[in-house]
A and B are shown apart, each in its own frame.
Chain A
Amino acid sequence: GENVEQHPSTLSVQEGDSAVIKCTYSDSASNYFPWYKQELGKRPQLIIDIRSNVGEKKDQRIAVTLNKTAKHFSLHITETQPEDSAVYFCAASGTSGGSYIPTFGRGTSLIVHP
């Protein structure tokens, strides 16, 4: 089955700095890579996703890059703000008969200091 490794487990930055979180996956059949933000005590929320036919996607201060050959993808947050502090999860999934079975990383706790 799929295995997703996520690094770092904790990331501490100053407000205004950039933050980068990296994930690797093992199954070359995976073709959908979402990123979720989970604030303390709340549900995970999708912040950006990328499909395997695209190498990069941006949405304001957030961008995701995908390297299919190396089987890794990264989340980039620029101009970080204290409200970006949360746990971020990457996930990887493929499709099989219409099913959607994502494998999540263990999460990165991002702390943005004012």
Chain B
Amino acid sequence: DAGVTQSPTHLIKTRGQHVTLRCSPISGHKSVSWYQQVLGQGPQFIFQYYEKEERGRGNFPDRFSARQFPNYSSELNVNALLLGDSALYLCASRNRGYGDEQFFGPGTRLTVL
């Protein structure tokens, strides 16, 4: 059974550009969360979606947006990229909104030049 998958694995963008990151949860999982992990720090929560509805939003600017599709996959969009957006972006899935173990994907390494 496949785990959480993310694409692309690595991405290099320049300041001001836009990026879309994709995540497919474990089959049967309906909740997807996105995290930003800067080198040397813990993951920082960005969004949670459950049953295609936004259930939580972290302290990130409006340049960050996300959505969840009917098949429970998800996209994270970041507009007007800044150098400080360079990080590992992790997606995690769980079966329900709360109460189940969260499984992380391998992440997308975003570098903004």
List the interface of chain A (C-beta within 8 A of B).
1, 6, 32, 34, 42-46, 49, 89, 91, 95-107
Contact = CB atoms under 8 A, between A and B. Distances in A.
Contacts of B104: 43-45
A7 to B, nearest CB: 13
B50 A104 contact: no
A104 B48 contact: no
Given A43-B106, A99-B55, A107-B40, A49 B45 contact: no
Interface centre among B48, B58, B98, B103 (most CB of A within 10 A): B98
Given A44-B43, A106-B42, A100 B48 contact: yes
Nearest to A31: B98
Contacts of A105: 42
Nearest 5 A-B pairs (CB), nearest first?
Answer: A104-B42, A98-B97, A99-B55, A99-B56, A43-B104
B101 interface: yes
15 contacts: A1-B59, A43-B104, A43-B106, A44-B43, A44-B104, A46-B102, A46-B103, A89-B42, A91-B42, A98-B55, A98-B97, A101-B56, A104-B44, A105-B42, A107-B42
B31 interface: yes
A101 B41 CA distance: 17
A46 to B, nearest CB: 6
B47 to A, nearest CB: 10
A108 to B, nearest CB: 10
B25 interface: no
B94 A100 contact: yes
B90 interface: yes
User: Which of B55, B58, B96 counts the most A-chain CB atoms under 10 A from its CB?
Assistant: B55
Contacts of B58: 101
Given A91-B42, A104-B43, 6 more contacts: A43-B90, A45-B104, A97-B55, A101-B58, A102-B45, A104-B44
